[in-house]
Amino acid sequence: MTRLDRYLISEFAQAVMATLAVLLIVCVGGALTDVLGDIARGQLPAGLLLAQLGLVLLNWLPVILPLALLLGLMLAVGRLYRDAEMPVIASVGVGPRRLLKPLMLVVLPLIAVVAACSLWLGPWAERLSRELINEANRNMIVAGLEPGRFTELPNGGGVAFVGEMSGEGTRFDRVFVYRQSDDRITVVSSNQGALKAGEDGQRYLVLENGFEVEGPREGGQDYRLLRYASNEVRMPAGKEKFDLDDPEALPTSALIGDERPPAVAQLHRRIAPPLLALAFALMAIPLARSMPRQARYGRMLMGFLGYLIGVNLMLMGTGWLEDDKIPGMLGLWWLVLPLLGVGVWLYLGDGRMRPSKGRANGAGRAA
């Protein structure tokens, strides 16, 4: 490997990694907002915050990495043009085709990561995420229940409050539960409570030495007060998010041969990201071409808009496949193959000299 190749590989890799770090920081904020929203709504236990955040980011990598490749390569090549290094490299006979080797040494490993995340790690992360949520909902009275604060029960089942909780989350002190039906409200309070799993698979909160008040929801005097030694309160089931037959959570090998439109759509949705990443990487070199003092951010905006259009078309095409609006045999090839063709055409045509009109006319007169 020549010194020039090592230099270009270093420049490309550093720019791509820096861009990826910035994009990951931005995406962590978005993912954290979504996860905290699920915790606040009682759909996710607070203890699963970091695990869910990591799994969500792993599922987003097939979308983030192609953008990091595109913008990082454009930044690196744009700096070479801005500092007049690229004209010097071209003057010694190194053209765009000669840059293909260092470019592919950076791009191909990242495309392999995109393919691994899209085809294997992403579905595994989605499946594990749903299993963790379902397991937490089966073992806890409500996801996100914390001592000293009111928490909404799943599926609009009411509001619960506990003053203290044991370490394993099965025994409680100073319990308050508010529930409502179509025309009645029920308030149950107790000094002590424990979580119990019934034979029917439902969860029950066993309360001791407390009171239960039942009355009309819209007003009136039909109230009943009950003092009890033991009372079992049936808790609403948490929202199930995991379905064994959901194509989003199935491994890629299980989607091959599945003729259901959602399964076909999901299979093509997983194949597309690595091919799109290759197309964007090839487009980055010609899109970054600029004069030494020319502004480079306009071209980066053009590349970013091209990425947005490509990703949105991929998502729209996935929806069309799920709704059976386009044939499964067509898949997303109508998007991926033209983009690859455009990327190869732009790359091979980058830096090609075109004869001027004066030269052409002079050559004609000489003939």
DSSP letters for 91-119: HTT--TTTTHHHHHHHHHHHHHHHHHIII
Mean pLDDT value across residues 355-362 = 46
Report the pLDDT value the prediction gives residue 276, as an integer from 0 to 100.
93
Q: In the prediction, which pLDDT does 293 show?
A: 63
Torsion of CA 253, 256, 260, 264, to 10 degrees: 100
Report, as an integer, the average pLDDT of 260-266: 90
Predicted local distance difference test score (pLDDT) of residue 15? 93
Map residue 165 onto helix, strand or coil.
strand
| Residue-wise DSSP of 224-264 | EEEEEEEEEEEEPPPPP---TT-TTTS-HHHHTT--SHHHH
Residue with the larger pLDDT of the pair 282 and 235: 282
Higher pLDDT, 278 or 132: 278
Residue type, 237: A
Q: Which long-range contacts (CB under 8 A, 24 or more apart) does 327-335 make?
A: 328/259, 328/261, 328/264, 331/264, 331/267, 331/268, 331/271, 332/268, 332/269, 332/271, 332/272, 333/268, 335/272, 335/310
Mean pLDDT lowest for which of 78-82, 116-120, 249-253, 352-356? 352-356
The DSSP bridge pattern shows strands 159-165 and 171-180 to be: antiparallel
Helix, strand or coil for residue 187? strand
Condensed to tens digits (0 to 9), the pLDDT of residues 129-163 reads 877 777 666 555 444 556 777 877 665 667 888 88
Whole-number Å distance between alpha carbons of 167 and 4: 60
Within 10 angstroms of residue 60's Cβ, the number of other Cβ atoms is 19
Two tokens, residue 333:
């090839």
Name the CA dihedral angle for 305, 309, 312, 314, rounded to a multiple of 10 degrees.
-130
Of residues 285, 269, 287, the one with CA closest to residue 336: 269
Please state the rounded mean pLDDT for residues 303-312: 91
Q: Which of 144, 125, 138 minimizes the C-alpha distance to 43?
A: 144
Whole-number Å distance between alpha carbons of 77 and 285: 7
Q: What is the gyration radius of the CA atoms in the chain, in angstroms?
A: 30
Cα distances (Å, whole numbers) of residue 343 to 98, 151, 155, 277, 340: 16, 53, 49, 10, 5
- Which pTM was predicted? 0.71
Lowest model confidence (mean pLDDT) among 36-50, 84-98, 168-182, 305-319: 36-50
Q: What is the pLDDT of residue 122?
A: 87
Cβ-contact 192, 209 below 8 angstroms:
yes
Residue pLDDT, tens place only, 37-68? 777 665 666 677 788 888 888 888 999 999 99
